[in-house]
């Protein structure tokens, strides 16, 4: 088995847990953070994160950005994401499916968390739209570009207005493409 295949499997295994996906997302949105800072943001105990941080580091998805000295002489690790962006171009269809399923599982956790918060009286919004449309390759590419541009614009708006909102968009062919489409 090639080193690349082993690396991809390690990445996909690391992303098989929704907690690890949330850790990565938290690191992508902010500066380097310690396990304690990540735990606070994710509403988990820090000791629950150490295993997950080790798995992400082993897969090469995060790295130690620096060591920060604490009072009393202790040192804490500050984590940041690496430049790896799974799945790579050479990933198999099954590896891509595993990665996407892990992302959907993380979204399920978000939906459950928001629903429980609503049950406790918090104001949370959950929206879902599912439909099927017939798209040419050009229309599919245009739709994807428009969606990505909307997200890019909103990601770069500074300020304290608004709430962090998870956006998940999937485009999945539900039937086999004709030979001429390939």
Per residue of the chain (182 residues), give pLDDT as tens: 445 444 556 676 777 788 888 898 888 877 899 999 999 988 888 888 999 999 999 888 889 999 999 988 899 999 998 865 556 677 788 877 877 877 787 778 778 878 888 999 989 899 988 899 999 999 999 999 999 899 888 877 766 777 878 788 888 888 888 755 44
CA-wise closest residue to 65 among 85, 35, 44: 35
- How crowded is residue 163: how many other Cβ atoms within 10 Å of its Cβ? 7
Give the three-class secondary structure for 13.
Answer: helix
Give the three-class secondary structure for 164.
Answer: coil
CA-wise closest residue to 23 among 134, 117, 109: 109
φ, ψ at 123 (rounded to 5°): -90, 110
CATH architecture of 3-81: Orthogonal Bundle (1.10)
Q: In this predicted structure, what is the pLDDT of residue 181?
A: 47
CA atoms within 13 A on the CB side of 73: 0
Degrees to nearest 5, angle at CA 115 with 53 and 143? 80
**Where along the chain do the CATH 1.10.10.10 domains lie?**
3-81
Q: Reply yes or no: is the peptide bond before residue 170 cis, omega within 30 of 0.
A: no
């Amino acid at each position: 088995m090639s080193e690349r295949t082993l690396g991809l499997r390690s990445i996909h295994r690391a992303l098989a847990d929704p907690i690890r996906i949330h850790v990565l997302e938290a690191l992508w949105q902010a500066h380097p953070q310690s396990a304690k800072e990540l735990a606070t943001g994710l509403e988990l105990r820090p000791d629950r994160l150490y295993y997950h941080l080790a798995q992400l580091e082993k897969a090469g998805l995060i790295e130690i950005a620096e060591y920060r000295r604490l009072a009393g002489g202790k040192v804490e690790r500050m984590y940041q994401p690496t430049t790896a962006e799974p799945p790579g171009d050479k990933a198999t269809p099954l590896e891509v499916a595993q990665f996407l399923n892990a992302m959907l599982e993380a979204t399920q956790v978000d939906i459950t968390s928001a629903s429980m918060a609503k049950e406790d009286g918090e104001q949370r919004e959950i929206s879902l739209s599912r439909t099927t449309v017939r798209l040419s390759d050009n229309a599919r590419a245009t739709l994807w570009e428009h969606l990505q541009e909307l997200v890019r614009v909103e990601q770069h708006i500074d300020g304290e207005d608004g709430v962090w909102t998870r956006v998940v968009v999937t485009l999945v062919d539900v039937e086999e493409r004709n030979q001429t489409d390939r």
